[in-house]
Amino acid sequence: MTQRLHLVFGGELTDPSRNVFKDVSALHVVGIFPDYESAYNAWKAEAHRTVDNAHTRYFIAHLHKLRDEAREASPTEELG
């Protein structure tokens, strides 16, 4: 069975119209979730918690898309 892992993270942006973080070392990693639904619920909770700060954004990264299960070594594994 293939896992569909999702990473939820966020932080303060330099400009609300761009996706550039002000301080990458201060990113808030909410967690890694086993499916989109639970990742979405975590994202939504953080987005609502920070709704008053226009510079703060949260994102869902589809970690499972970084791996190609059909290949022996995915492109990210070849970097190491």
pLDDT in tens, the chain (80 residues): 567 899 999 999 999 899 999 999 999 999 999 999 999 999 999 999 999 999 999 999 999 787 665 666 555 555 55
The amino acid present at 49, given as its one-letter code, is: R
CATH superfamily of 6-78: Uncharacterised protein PF13773, DUF4170 (3.30.70.2400)
Tokens representing residue 76 in the block: 């990210």
- Each domain of the chain, given as residue ranges in start order, spans 6-78
Burial of 43: CB neighbours in 10 Å, binned 0-12, 13-18, 19+: buried
- What number of H helices and E strands is found in the chain? 2, 3
Q: Which residues, in sequence order, are bridge partners of residue 43?
A: none
